[in-house]
Amino acid sequence: MPIAATLTEQLQRYAILFESHPHPYSPSSSARIAEAAHVPGHQLAKAVVLKRKDDSYMVMVLPADHRIQLGRLHLMLGETVGLATETEVRELFHDCDPGALVPTGAAYGIKTLIDRRLLAEPEVFIESGDHQTLLKLPGQEFSRLMATAQPVDAVKHL
């Protein structure tokens, strides 16, 4: 599968510079994808879709070697959120392979939160929408791509 069409539009709209980084097929966890692609887990941005009580969604973008601290996130947001179902995620990210979500929730009209650590990285790798290609972005380009995301501190190293 090529780069997800919605991501391609976002990259073109903002003239984001990136390099394609192919890797062996890996439909497993983000940490394993980082391993298969030979990239540091703290530089691979993974997306987790969260469902709010009002049935709207948010995307949390965090390093592949971290996990969300839901209790901390609940306190920061002032509301309780849970994980979206696989069916909901497939519907929202219709042009991505299951488990290969691009971290640009805004391109899909979804509010996005981002762990601050990723914004400080010199380069960041993101999913392209398939299980065989990452995109490598210079840190400044990644920050521009994520400009509308809300920076948060609600993750913990695995």
3-state DSSP assignment of residue 84: coil
Q: Is the pLDDT of residue 143 over 70?
A: yes
Q: Is the pLDDT of residue 9 over 70?
A: yes
Residue 53 — very low, low, confident or very high, per pLDDT cuts 50/70/90? very high
The helix (H) or strand (E) run that includes residue 117 is: helix 116-119
Q: What is the pLDDT of residues 115-126, one digit of tens each?
A: 999 999 999 999
Question: What architecture does CATH give domain 5-157?
Answer: Alpha-Beta Complex (3.90)
3-state DSSP assignment of residue 142: helix
